[in-house]
Protein backbone atom coordinates (compact mmCIF):
# COMPACT_ATOMS: atom_id res chain seq x y z
CA UNK A 1 0.00 0.00 0.00
CA UNK A 2 1.21 3.49 -0.89
CA UNK A 3 0.71 6.78 0.92
CA UNK A 4 -2.22 8.58 -0.70
CA UNK A 5 -0.43 11.91 -0.37
CA UNK A 6 3.18 11.28 -1.40
CA UNK A 7 3.21 7.68 -2.79
CA UNK A 8 5.87 6.53 -0.28
CA UNK A 9 5.17 3.12 1.35
CA UNK A 10 2.21 3.45 3.77
CA UNK A 11 2.44 2.46 7.43
CA UNK A 12 -1.26 2.77 8.22
CA UNK A 13 -4.55 2.75 6.39
CA UNK A 14 -7.47 4.91 7.53
CA UNK A 15 -10.46 3.47 5.77
CA UNK A 16 -12.82 6.34 6.55
CA UNK A 17 -10.53 8.60 4.51
CA UNK A 18 -10.07 5.80 1.98
CA UNK A 19 -6.34 6.41 2.30
CA UNK A 20 -3.04 4.98 3.42
CA UNK A 21 -0.42 7.26 4.94
CA UNK A 22 3.36 7.13 5.33
CA UNK A 23 4.71 8.16 8.74
CA UNK A 24 5.27 11.84 7.97
CA UNK A 25 1.99 12.37 6.11
CA UNK A 26 0.08 10.57 8.87
CA UNK A 27 1.57 12.77 11.59
CA UNK A 28 0.70 15.82 9.50
CA UNK A 29 -2.85 14.46 9.10
CA UNK A 30 -3.22 14.14 12.91
CA UNK A 31 -2.05 17.71 13.47
CA UNK A 32 -4.43 18.95 10.75
CA UNK A 33 -7.39 17.19 12.33
CA UNK A 34 -6.69 18.73 15.74
CA UNK A 35 -6.09 22.18 14.20
CA UNK A 36 -9.39 21.86 12.29
CA UNK A 37 -11.32 20.86 15.43
CA UNK A 38 -9.85 23.71 17.47
CA UNK A 39 -10.57 26.29 14.78
CA UNK A 40 -14.02 25.01 13.80
CA UNK A 41 -15.32 24.84 17.37
CA UNK A 42 -13.35 27.87 18.56
CA UNK A 43 -11.70 25.83 21.34
CA UNK A 44 -8.67 27.97 22.10
CA UNK A 45 -6.98 31.15 20.97
CA UNK A 46 -3.27 31.85 20.56
CA UNK A 47 -2.71 33.30 24.05
CA UNK A 48 -4.75 30.75 26.01
CA UNK A 49 -3.08 28.69 28.72
CA UNK A 50 -4.27 25.09 28.38
CA UNK A 51 -4.26 22.42 31.07
CA UNK A 52 -4.33 18.91 29.57
CA UNK A 53 -5.75 16.14 31.75
CA UNK A 54 -3.32 13.24 31.24
CA UNK A 55 -3.86 9.65 32.34
CA UNK A 56 -0.82 7.87 30.86
CA UNK A 57 -2.94 6.52 28.00
CA UNK A 58 -2.47 7.13 24.29
CA UNK A 59 -5.18 9.75 23.88
CA UNK A 60 -4.16 12.21 26.58
CA UNK A 61 -0.40 11.92 26.03
CA UNK A 62 -0.93 12.18 22.27
CA UNK A 63 -3.11 15.25 22.81
CA UNK A 64 -0.50 16.95 24.97
CA UNK A 65 2.14 16.37 22.27
CA UNK A 66 -0.16 17.52 19.46
CA UNK A 67 -1.13 20.74 21.27
CA UNK A 68 2.50 21.58 21.99
CA UNK A 69 3.47 20.85 18.39
CA UNK A 70 0.71 23.22 17.25
CA UNK A 71 2.31 25.93 19.39
CA UNK A 72 -0.05 26.02 22.37
CA UNK A 73 1.09 26.74 25.91
CA UNK A 74 -0.10 23.44 27.37
CA UNK A 75 0.76 21.90 30.75
CA UNK A 76 -0.30 18.50 32.10
CA UNK A 77 -2.54 17.52 35.00
CA UNK A 78 -2.35 14.02 36.44
CA UNK A 79 -4.90 12.77 38.96
CA UNK A 80 -3.90 9.68 40.96
CA UNK A 81 -7.08 7.63 41.39
CA UNK A 82 -5.71 4.98 43.75
CA UNK A 83 -6.49 2.02 41.49
CA UNK A 84 -3.61 -0.14 42.77
CA UNK A 85 -0.79 -1.07 40.42
CA UNK A 86 -2.68 0.34 37.45
CA UNK A 87 -2.51 3.86 38.89
CA UNK A 88 1.15 3.41 39.90
CA UNK A 89 2.04 2.37 36.38
CA UNK A 90 0.01 5.08 34.64
CA UNK A 91 1.69 7.71 36.85
CA UNK A 92 5.11 6.39 35.77
CA UNK A 93 4.23 6.83 32.09
CA UNK A 94 2.98 10.40 32.66
CA UNK A 95 5.96 11.46 34.76
CA UNK A 96 8.45 10.02 32.30
CA UNK A 97 6.69 11.73 29.37
CA UNK A 98 6.72 15.13 31.11
CA UNK A 99 10.26 14.71 32.45
CA UNK A 100 11.71 13.73 29.04
CA UNK A 101 10.31 16.91 27.50
CA UNK A 102 10.82 19.14 30.54
CA UNK A 103 7.12 20.08 30.45
CA UNK A 104 5.20 21.20 33.53
CA UNK A 105 3.05 18.55 35.21
CA UNK A 106 0.54 19.33 37.99
CA UNK A 107 -0.13 16.28 40.17
CA UNK A 108 -3.09 15.64 42.48
CA UNK A 109 -3.73 12.45 44.41
CA UNK A 110 -7.30 11.51 45.31
CA UNK A 111 -6.32 9.60 48.46
CA UNK A 112 -3.72 12.09 49.73
CA UNK A 113 -5.57 15.27 48.84
CA UNK A 114 -9.19 14.20 49.36
CA UNK A 115 -8.98 11.17 51.69
CA UNK A 116 -10.53 8.46 49.49
CA UNK A 117 -9.92 6.46 46.32
CA UNK A 118 -12.22 5.48 43.43
CA UNK A 119 -13.21 2.18 45.00
CA UNK A 120 -14.06 3.87 48.33
CA UNK A 121 -16.03 6.60 46.56
CA UNK A 122 -17.87 4.04 44.47
CA UNK A 123 -18.85 2.01 47.53
CA UNK A 124 -19.83 5.01 49.63
CA UNK A 125 -21.87 6.77 46.97
CA UNK A 126 -23.35 3.50 45.64
CA UNK A 127 -22.16 4.48 42.17
CA UNK A 128 -20.46 2.25 39.59
CA UNK A 129 -16.66 2.71 39.79
CA UNK A 130 -16.60 4.46 36.37
CA UNK A 131 -19.27 6.87 37.62
CA UNK A 132 -17.36 7.68 40.84
CA UNK A 133 -14.18 8.08 38.79
CA UNK A 134 -15.90 10.37 36.25
CA UNK A 135 -17.44 12.52 38.99
CA UNK A 136 -14.05 12.90 40.72
CA UNK A 137 -12.28 13.78 37.47
CA UNK A 138 -14.87 16.36 36.39
CA UNK A 139 -14.77 18.06 39.78
CA UNK A 140 -11.02 17.99 40.37
CA UNK A 141 -9.98 18.84 36.79
CA UNK A 142 -12.22 21.92 36.81
CA UNK A 143 -11.09 22.97 40.27
CA UNK A 144 -7.40 22.52 39.42
CA UNK A 145 -7.68 24.48 36.16
CA UNK A 146 -9.32 27.41 37.96
CA UNK A 147 -6.95 27.35 40.95
CA UNK A 148 -3.87 27.26 38.73
CA UNK A 149 -5.15 30.03 36.46
CA UNK A 150 -5.65 28.16 33.17
CA UNK A 151 -8.04 29.41 30.48
CA UNK A 152 -8.89 26.02 29.03
CA UNK A 153 -9.09 22.42 30.24
CA UNK A 154 -8.46 19.91 27.43
CA UNK A 155 -9.32 16.22 27.68
CA UNK A 156 -8.35 13.33 25.41
CA UNK A 157 -11.87 12.25 24.45
CA UNK A 158 -11.64 11.02 20.87
CA UNK A 159 -14.10 10.26 18.07
CA UNK A 160 -14.80 6.76 19.43
CA UNK A 161 -15.49 8.08 22.95
CA UNK A 162 -17.94 10.63 21.62
CA UNK A 163 -19.58 8.11 19.27
CA UNK A 164 -20.09 5.65 22.15
CA UNK A 165 -21.58 8.31 24.43
CA UNK A 166 -23.82 9.59 21.62
CA UNK A 167 -24.92 6.04 20.82
CA UNK A 168 -25.88 5.46 24.47
CA UNK A 169 -27.70 8.77 24.71
CA UNK A 170 -29.66 8.11 21.52
CA UNK A 171 -30.56 4.54 22.47
CA UNK A 172 -32.17 5.84 25.66
CA UNK A 173 -33.23 9.23 24.25
CA UNK A 174 -31.38 11.07 26.98
CA UNK A 175 -32.39 14.41 25.52
CA UNK A 176 -30.83 16.48 28.28
CA UNK A 177 -27.46 14.74 27.80
CA UNK A 178 -27.80 15.18 24.03
CA UNK A 179 -28.24 18.90 24.63
CA UNK A 180 -24.99 18.95 26.58
CA UNK A 181 -22.91 16.75 24.26
CA UNK A 182 -20.56 19.16 22.54
CA UNK A 183 -16.75 19.33 22.17
CA UNK A 184 -16.72 22.75 23.86
CA UNK A 185 -18.35 23.64 27.15
CA UNK A 186 -17.91 27.39 27.45
CA UNK A 187 -16.59 29.02 30.60
CA UNK A 188 -19.21 30.14 33.13
CA UNK A 189 -18.95 31.33 36.74
CA UNK A 190 -17.10 28.52 38.55
CA UNK A 191 -16.40 26.61 35.32
CA UNK A 192 -13.32 26.73 33.14
CA UNK A 193 -13.80 26.24 29.38
CA UNK A 194 -13.61 22.51 28.58
CA UNK A 195 -12.59 21.26 25.16
CA UNK A 196 -12.12 17.95 23.33
CA UNK A 197 -9.64 18.63 20.51
CA UNK A 198 -9.42 14.94 19.48
CA UNK A 199 -13.04 14.80 18.32
CA UNK A 200 -11.94 14.29 14.69
CA UNK A 201 -9.45 11.46 15.41
CA UNK A 202 -10.29 7.82 16.16
CA UNK A 203 -8.58 5.94 18.95
CA UNK A 204 -6.85 3.77 16.35
CA UNK A 205 -5.35 6.93 14.86
CA UNK A 206 -4.25 8.09 18.32
CA UNK A 207 -2.61 4.75 19.07
CA UNK A 208 -0.80 4.88 15.71
CA UNK A 209 0.27 8.48 16.39
CA UNK A 210 1.86 7.39 19.69
CA UNK A 211 3.62 4.37 18.18
CA UNK A 212 4.98 6.46 15.30
CA UNK A 213 6.21 9.30 17.53
CA UNK A 214 7.69 6.97 20.15
CA UNK A 215 5.27 7.99 22.92
CA UNK A 216 5.28 5.19 25.48
CA UNK A 217 1.80 4.80 26.94
CA UNK A 218 -0.06 2.36 29.15
CA UNK A 219 -1.68 -0.26 26.91
CA UNK A 220 -3.35 -2.20 29.71
CA UNK A 221 -6.98 -1.38 30.43
CA UNK A 222 -8.20 0.00 33.74
CA UNK A 223 -9.07 -3.10 35.83
CA UNK A 224 -12.33 -1.45 36.87
CA UNK A 225 -13.61 -0.86 33.34
CA UNK A 226 -14.61 -4.47 32.62
CA UNK A 227 -18.27 -4.59 31.64
CA UNK A 228 -18.34 -0.82 31.13
CA UNK A 229 -21.33 -0.12 28.88
CA UNK A 230 -19.40 2.27 26.67
CA UNK A 231 -16.80 -0.39 25.87
CA UNK A 232 -19.63 -2.57 24.56
CA UNK A 233 -20.93 0.31 22.44
CA UNK A 234 -17.46 0.93 21.03
CA UNK A 235 -17.16 -2.69 19.94
CA UNK A 236 -20.55 -2.57 18.24
CA UNK A 237 -19.70 0.71 16.50
CA UNK A 238 -16.39 -0.74 15.29
CA UNK A 239 -18.25 -3.64 13.69
CA UNK A 240 -20.51 -1.16 11.90
CA UNK A 241 -17.46 0.92 10.90
CA UNK A 242 -15.83 -2.17 9.45
CA UNK A 243 -18.78 -2.72 7.13
CA UNK A 244 -19.31 0.95 6.42
CA UNK A 245 -16.16 3.05 6.90
CA UNK A 246 -16.85 6.63 7.98
CA UNK A 247 -19.99 5.83 9.97
CA UNK A 248 -18.58 6.91 13.35
CA UNK A 249 -17.41 10.28 12.02
CA UNK A 250 -20.70 10.85 10.17
CA UNK A 251 -22.63 9.95 13.34
CA UNK A 252 -20.75 12.31 15.66
CA UNK A 253 -19.91 15.18 13.33
CA UNK A 254 -23.34 15.01 11.69
CA UNK A 255 -24.99 15.18 15.12
CA UNK A 256 -22.95 18.27 15.99
CA UNK A 257 -23.68 19.95 12.64
CA UNK A 258 -27.33 19.12 12.25
CA UNK A 259 -28.96 17.89 15.45
CA UNK A 260 -27.26 18.92 18.69
CA UNK A 261 -28.77 22.39 18.76
CA UNK A 262 -32.27 20.90 18.71
CA UNK A 263 -31.66 19.44 22.17
CA UNK A 264 -30.13 22.42 23.96
CA UNK A 265 -33.58 23.45 25.22
CA UNK A 266 -33.70 20.14 27.11
CA UNK A 267 -30.85 21.08 29.42
CA UNK A 268 -32.78 21.50 32.65
CA UNK A 269 -30.36 23.39 34.80
CA UNK A 270 -28.58 26.14 32.93
CA UNK A 271 -25.02 26.59 34.16
CA UNK A 272 -25.80 30.22 34.98
CA UNK A 273 -28.51 29.11 37.45
CA UNK A 274 -26.13 27.07 39.62
CA UNK A 275 -24.89 28.38 42.96
CA UNK A 276 -21.66 27.72 44.88
CA UNK A 277 -21.41 24.49 46.90
CA UNK A 278 -21.34 25.47 50.58
CA UNK A 279 -18.29 23.23 51.15
CA UNK A 280 -16.04 23.72 48.12
CA UNK A 281 -17.67 26.60 46.19
CA UNK A 282 -18.02 24.54 42.99
CA UNK A 283 -21.24 25.34 41.11
CA UNK A 284 -24.13 23.02 42.02
CA UNK A 285 -27.92 22.99 41.68
CA UNK A 286 -28.27 22.15 45.41
CA UNK A 287 -26.46 23.27 48.56
CA UNK A 288 -23.68 20.65 48.46
CA UNK A 289 -22.19 19.35 45.22
CA UNK A 290 -22.25 15.65 44.27
CA UNK A 291 -18.46 15.35 44.69
CA UNK A 292 -18.52 16.73 48.27
CA UNK A 293 -21.41 14.41 49.14
CA UNK A 294 -19.48 11.41 47.80
CA UNK A 295 -16.29 12.49 49.59
CA UNK A 296 -18.11 12.94 52.91
CA UNK A 297 -19.68 9.49 52.67
CA UNK A 298 -16.36 7.89 51.66
CA UNK A 299 -14.39 9.36 54.56
CA UNK A 300 -17.24 8.88 57.06
CA UNK A 301 -17.95 12.55 57.76
CA UNK A 302 -21.45 13.86 58.27
CA UNK A 303 -22.49 15.60 55.06
CA UNK A 304 -22.17 19.35 55.47
CA UNK A 305 -18.91 19.49 57.44
CA UNK A 306 -16.30 21.68 55.76
CA UNK A 307 -12.95 20.04 55.00
CA UNK A 308 -10.21 21.61 57.13
CA UNK A 309 -7.03 21.90 55.10
Residue closer to another protein (CB basis): 117 or 241: 241
CB of 299 to another protein, least distance (A): 22
User: Interacting stretch for another protein, rule CB under 8 A, among 101-109, 140-148, 158-166, 295-303?
Assistant: 158-166
130 binds another protein (CB under 8 A): yes
160 binds another protein (CB under 8 A): yes
* Binders of another protein in range 55-84 (CB under 8 A): 55, 57-59
Residue 105, H or E segment: strand 105-109
Residue closer to another protein (CB basis): 65 or 202: 202
Residue 14, H or E segment: strand 12-14
CB of 309 to another protein, least distance (A): 27
CA distances 227 to 121, 126, 233, Å, are: 19, 17, 11
CB of 239 to another protein, least distance (A): 6
Query: How many other C-beta atoms are found inside a 10 Å radius of the C-beta of residue 270?
Result: 9
# of chain residues touching another protein (CB under 8 A): 44
Rounded to whole angstroms, how far apart are CA atoms 298 and 309? 17
Rounded to whole angstroms, how far apart are CA atoms 261 and 256? 8
Among 145, 206, 294, 296, indicate the residue that binds another protein (CB under 8 A).
Answer: 206
Q: CA torsion 43→155→166→15, rounded to 10°?
A: 90
Rounded to whole angstroms, how far apart are CA atoms 20 and 10? 5
Residue closer to another protein (CB basis): 55 or 284: 55
Rounded to whole angstroms, how far apart are CA atoms 214 and 232? 29
Rounded to whole angstroms, how far apart are CA atoms 172 and 174? 5
CB of 149 to another protein, least distance (A): 26
Per CB under 8 A, residues contacting another protein are 1, 10-13, 15, 20, 55, 57-59, 130-131, 133-134, 137, 156-157, 160-161, 164-165, 202-204, 206-208, 211-212, 219-222, 225, 228, 230-231, 234-235, 238-239, 241-242
Amino acid sequence: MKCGRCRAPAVIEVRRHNAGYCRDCFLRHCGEQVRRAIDHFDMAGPGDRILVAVSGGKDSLGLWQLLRDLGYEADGLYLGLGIGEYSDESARYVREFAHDRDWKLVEIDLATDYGFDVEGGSRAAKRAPCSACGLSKRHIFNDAAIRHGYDVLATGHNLDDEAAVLFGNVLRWETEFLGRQHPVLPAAPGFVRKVKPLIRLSERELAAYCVLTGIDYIVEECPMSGGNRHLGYKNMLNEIEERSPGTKAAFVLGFLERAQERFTGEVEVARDDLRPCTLCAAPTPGDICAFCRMRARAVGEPIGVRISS
